[in-house]
Amino acid sequence: MATMTVLAPAKINLSLDVTGKRADGYHLLSTVMQSISMYDRVTVSLDHQQQGIILACGRAPIPADSRNTAWRAAALFCEATGLSDGIRIDIEKKIPTAAGLAGGSSDAAAVVFALNRLLPGRISHEQLFSLAAQIGADVPFCLAGGTVLCEGIGEILTPLVPWPELPVLLIKPAFGMSTPWVFSRFRMDASGRRPDQLAVLQAIAERDINLLAASTANVLESVSLAARPELAEIKNMLLAAGAAMALMSGSGPSVFGLFAHADDCLFARDWLTARLPADTIVIATQSTAAGLVTA
């Protein structure tokens, strides 16, 4: 039995703008995504004597069947390549679910990444990314990783100069947010502040955290913060604790703060942990230039 274990990182959105909407209902985006050092552990095994897909995810509150993005990723890979071997996927979840951190998408990317490594030559690099786009909007980025400008519905990727080891304080409240629900309620004419993407790209190229803070925004906050005002309070608390900027990731509810120094991030972690509800996840981490890595 051939096996590979992949560490699948979470992501945050350093900026997020909605630029339009396609006829099929998908929103067009311009967003800078950044991998962070928080990982699910995904193990993919091939069994030539079996057929079908088996997925196990421990006690994580996620489906272990065709409703799971990682399961669908394996099915699409089989369909694209003609693979008939049995596939077992074991996921050890560390990334919170329904959090705006692309945990499910990263797991799916890890599955096709591992299958492509276990079966070299079955599918080209271009086909792999095309397959990723069929699985979900965040999956192409999760396959690439690092610091990337993502456009279209997420399938048009422009790699940027990496900004590794940038201290990140991540706050995940006890509740989740549904991405389809947030997008269904988004209105272009009520989106509030929009990011200055050219300035955002300049800030990333120059590693200027103050310019990034002055130029970025996440337009989906117009929906999520209205629905859950406590997210705005968390942003304010991050700034009060010394963050250079605070922003919601994706459709929420996770909020993150960026810090100039790791010590300040750790101080803010302790300060916020003492003041937020006990069921709130508070994690000090950092950006990473790497995406998927083999364990």
Residues identified as active-site? 11, 138
CA dihedral 203, 209, 211, 213 (to 10 degrees): 120
- 172 in Cβ contact with 280 (< 8 Å): yes
Alpha-carbon separation of residue 145 from 11, 53, 106, 172, 256 (angstroms): 8, 26, 9, 22, 18
**Cβ proximity of 18 and 219 under 8 Å:** yes
Residue count (the chain): 295
Task: Give phi and psi for 251, each to the nearest 5.
Answer: -90, 5
Nearest alpha-carbon partner for 228 in 192, 256, 191, 253: 253
Maximum alpha-carbon separation in the chain: 58
